[in-house]
Amino acid sequence: MNRKAHPPHAAWILLEPGADIPPPESWALFLDVDGTLIEIADAPDAVHVDDRIGGLLERLRGRLGGALALASGRSLDVLDRFFSPLELPAAGLHGLERRSADGSVSRTDGAPALGPARCELARFAAAHPGTLLEDKSATLALHYRRAAGAESAAREVMEKIRTSLGAAYRVQEGKMVLELKPHRPNKHTVVEDFMEEAPFRGRVPVFIGDDITDEEGFAAAQSAGGAGIVVGLEHAGDRMSNARHGVSGVRELHRWLEALCDGLRGHGR
């Protein structure tokens, strides 16, 4: 992973087609979902998905010759429900599930080792009102958006569990959420894996995301000659980022993607 971080949002600029990478018709586009394509909600099941987004993604995929994929902490089943009837190439659970462009699905099962952790985190959530355990089977996410005062205790219990599981597991930080998951795969390996197969192979990766979980995706894209675009500059604070480009929020990204789609008219296969 490229460890060089770029300054916080004051230095980020919107990526203009042809700015510092090859033109858009050569891109492979990777998109995070929560906080990127859809606004974050207080609870994972409370999000609203704009009906128009599925159509936009379908058009973009066609104009990029199929080289568009989702990269999310959500499961493939949830992603498919969000954008039904569209089923895109996608990496779910940070890469533990992956559907290639040909429709084949591969899964890395992180669930068997998480039994004791699941019980301990359920007890923690019961004892700390406002926290929420999101059980994704292969990963466990502890949300504290509704209980900001529980952050320190949540970090403590997650680190205790991670230590007991050993080096194969990590705690992935997000926006007011801590997720226990296998160390690999991650969004860096997701980009690498997609770029080894058609129709992504030979293209230039552009990764768009909003959170710490997306930093590995930014780094992977940029180390391959592409770009990272961070969404939500006004919420980024002083965070250092691997991304060199950014947009102010989800709505601005939608407008940028629409403009990108219009600019690609005639290039799709």
Catalytic residues: 32
Cis peptide before 199 (omega within 30 of 0): yes
Q: Which residues contact 16 (CB under 8 A, 6 or more apart)?
A: none
Angle at 190 between CA 179 and CA 251, to 5 degrees: 75
DSSP-assigned beta bridge partners for residue 122: none
Please check whether residue 214 is in contact with residue 229, taking contact to mean a CB–CB distance below 8 angstroms. Answer: no
CA distance 198 to 181: 28
Strands across the sheet containing 105-107: 105-107, 97-99, 90-92, 68-71, 27-31, 204-209, 227-231, 245-247
Q: Tokens 């949300």 correspond to what residue?
A: 143
Neighbours of 94 (CB within 10 A): 29
